[in-house]
Amino acid sequence: MIVAFTGITGNMGQGVLSQVVNNPNIEKFKFLVLPKDRRIKKILRKYSKFQDKFEIIYGNIAEKDKCEELVKDCDYVINMAAVIPPLSDQAPEKAVECNEIGVDVLVSVIENTEPQPKFIHISTVALYGNRNYLHPWGQVGDPLLPSPFDIYSATKLRGEWRVLESKIRNWAVLRQTAMLHSNMLTDNMNDGLMFHTCFNSPLDWVTAHDSGVLIANILKKDNENDLGSAFWRHCFNISGGEINCRTGYDILNDGFAIIGGGVKQFFRPNFNATRNFHGVWFYDGDKLQNLFNYQTQTVEDFWQEFAHTHAYFKAGKIVPKAVIRKLVIERLFHNPNSPKYWLKQNDSAKMKAYFGEIEDYNQLGTNWDEFNLLIENKNDKGETIDYSALRTKSNAKIVDYFFDFLKPDTDITATDLNNVAQAHGGSVNITNWNGDMYAKLQWTTQDGEKFSASPYTVLRAGHWHNPLYTQNKWEFDRLSKKDKVYAQIWYDSHKNDEDNCYFYDSEYNAHIEKKDQKI
C-alpha cells in the first residue's frame, strides 16, 4: 500500500513515523513538507535505510497541485498538518491557511480522485473549549465551544466540518487530546502560552509515541481486514486513558519537577488564566483503545523517560528557585501572549475572556494559601470536593444531548432530530428523511440562518452552525441564552448576565463588544 502524510515533521508526525516505518506492507511513504522545514533533514538522516521508500513533495497544503501530487495513487491519506499555538497566536493567517483553507483544498482533491484513498483527519480537543470541575468529562457529541480568541480551535472547527460534510467515502476524524512530547519544556519556555493553562482545567494526556502506535495499528488492521463501519465515517477522541487524566496544575508540577521544583515555587496564582482554556477528560476514550490497543504509556512513564533523555534539565536543581522564576518564568510577562502583558496594555478584551471581570483577576493575588486547587480537594468556590472521585470515570456527569445518546444510529428518529434542533433554539426540515445519518438536511439556527449538515455531524459529532463557522466571532454569551445545549457547558465558567461578543478584526486585533441583553 501507499500512504501519504501531511505534518510528518511535527511532534505527532514524528511519533507516527517511528511506528509505521517498519510496516512491510507499506511500499511507499509520501510526505508533503514545507520547503523551509529544516526538520525533514533530521528525519531523513534518522531513517536513511528507508529512504528508497520515501517520496517528498515540497509544498503547502493549501496548494492544489501539491495536494494532487501527494494524493495520486495513494491508498491512505493521513492529515496531521496543523498550525498550533503558540504559532497560531503569533501568525493567525498561517493557521487559517493550513487548518482551514488547506484542509478544504486537500479534501477537494481527495473527493475528485479515483480510486479514492481513505482519509484520516487529525482534529483537536480544543473544539470543546473550556471545562472545569462541573463537567470535566466529555465525549464526541458534546457541544463544541472553542474559546474566544483561540484562532487555532476556530480554524480546526471549520476544517473538521469540511471533512465531516465531504464526499469522501471513507473518512475518520480523530480529535487529539493534550500530547506529551520531547519538546514539551522548551516549547513552553519560549512563549506566554503556558499562562493560558488553567490550574484547575481537566486535561487528558497521551504521548506522541502512543499516538503513533494508534495510527500504525489503524493502517495495519484496516489493510489486513477492512474496518468498515466500525471505524470509517466516524469521529473519535484520542485519549491517554483514565489513568492519564490530570489538571493543568498537575502537569505543570510534573514538568517543573525535572528542574527540582514545582508550581508553587515557580508560579503565583495570578500568573495563569482561570478560564478560556481547552481541555476535557475523555469519557469515551476507550472506544479507540478497544479497537486498536494503543495506550502503552502513562504520564509517569513519560516524565521518567524525559528526565533520562534530557538530563541537562537536572542542572536546574542547583539554581535557586527564585532565580529560575525570575529568569525563566517572569521574563515571559513581556510576551504578547501573556496575561501580564494584556494587563499592562489594557487589553480588556483578552482579560475579560480569560478572567472575567478585572475584580476577578485582582482577587487571585499571589498567595497560594488563598487559591483553591482541585488537587487539594477544593473547587473554584472554595467548597470541599473529592478530587479522586472527580477523576473517576464512573462518577462522570455527562451533558444532556436531548435525545437518547446511547441508542444506535438505526434507531434515531425524526423526533430526535427535532428535539436537538429545538434545544439549540432552531429547527430542522425532515421532509422525506429516510433515516440516513449521512443524508444532508436543512437546519435553521436561532438566528434564522439556514445550513446544510448530516444528522451524524449534528447529533454524533456535536456541531451546530453559529457565527464562528464563517467569521472570527465568538458569540456564545448571546447564543447560550437560547441554546440549551451550549448553556450546560458555557455557564460552568461564565455568568448568565455576561453578554459579550468577542471578535478579531481583519488584522487579528482582539475586540470585545457588549450586545443587547434583550432576548
Residue-wise DSSP of 342-395: HHHTT-HHHHHHHHSSHHHHHTT-S-GGGS--GGGTB-TTS-B--HHHHT-GGG
Q: What is the pLDDT of residue 318?
A: 76
**Residue 474: exposure state from Cβ atoms within 10 A (0-12, 13-18, ≥19):** buried
Q: Is residue 308 part of a domain?
A: no
Residue entry with cell 501507499: 2
* Per-residue confidence (pLDDT) for residue 250, from 0 to 100: 94
Helices then strands, counting H and E runs in the chain, come out as 22, 18
Burial class (CB in 10 A: 0-12, 13-18, 19+), 112: exposed
pLDDT on residue 414: 97
**Assigned domain for 290 exists:** no
Do the domain assignments include residue 208?
Answer: yes
Phi first, then psi: give them for residue 352, nearest 5 degrees. -65, -45
* pLDDT in single tens digits along all 519 residues of the chain: 999 999 999 999 999 999 999 999 999 999 999 999 999 999 999 999 998 999 999 999 999 999 999 999 999 999 999 999 999 999 999 999 999 999 999 999 999 999 999 999 999 999 999 999 999 999 999 999 999 999 999 999 999 999 999 999 999 999 999 999 988 777 777 899 999 999 999 999 999 999 999 999 999 999 999 999 999 999 999 999 999 999 999 999 988 888 888 999 999 999 999 999 999 999 999 999 999 999 999 999 998 888 888 776 777 777 888 888 898 899 999 999 999 999 999 999 999 999 999 999 999 999 999 999 999 999 999 999 999 999 999 999 999 999 999 999 999 999 999 999 999 999 999 998 999 999 999 999 999 999 999 999 999 999 999 999 999 999 999 999 999 999 999 999 999 999 999 999 999 999 999 875 433
Residue 390, in any domain of the structure: no
Q: What DSSP line would sit under 115-158, residue for residue?
A: SPPEEEEEEEGGGG----TTS-EE-TTS---PPTT-HHHHHHHH
Cα angle: 391, vertex 393, 395; to 5 degrees: 85
Does residue 287 sit within a domain? Answer: no
Final residue before a domain boundary, out of 420, 441, 465: 465
Split into its structural domains, the chain has a count of: 2
Would you say residue 9 lies in a domain? yes
Please give the pLDDT value at position 391: 95
What lies within 8 Å, CB to CB, of 247 at 6+ separation is: 199, 200, 201, 202, 203, 373, 374, 375
Host H or E run for residue 429:
strand 427-429
Rounded to the nearest angstrom, the gap between the alpha carbon of residue 255 and the centroid of all alpha carbons in its chain is 21
Is residue 4 classed as helix, strand or coil in its secondary structure? Answer: strand
Amino acid at 448: G
SS3 call for 221: helix
- Give the pLDDT of residue 233: 98
Backbone φ and ψ of 173, nearest 5°: -110, 125
**pLDDT for position 516:** 58
Joined grid coordinates for residue 300:
509517569
Q: Is residue 383 part of a domain?
A: no
Tell me the pairing of strands 2-6 and 76-79.
parallel
Identify the domain containing residue 411 by its residue range. 400-465
Q: Specify the 3-state DSSP secondary structure of 238.
A: strand
3-state helix, strand, coil in the chain (%, to 5): 45, 15, 40
Beta bridge partners of 237: 175
d(CA 57, CA 363) in angstroms, rounded, equals: 53
Distance between CA atoms of residues 241 and 283, nearest Å: 9
Q: Could you tell me the CATH number of the domain that includes residue 216?
A: 3.40.50.720
Last residue in a domain, options 442, 465, 488:
465
The reported pLDDT for the residue numbered 294 is: 98
Quickly list DSSP for 9-63: TSHHHHHHHHHHTT-TT--EEEEEE-TT-THHHHHHHHTGGGGGGEEEEES-TT-
Q: Which of 416, 433, 465 marks a domain boundary?
A: 465
* pLDDT score for 518: 38
Residue 238 within a domain: yes
**Side-chain half-sphere of 323: how many Cα atoms within 13 Å?**
7
Are the CB atoms for 136 and 280 separated by under 8 Å?
Answer: yes
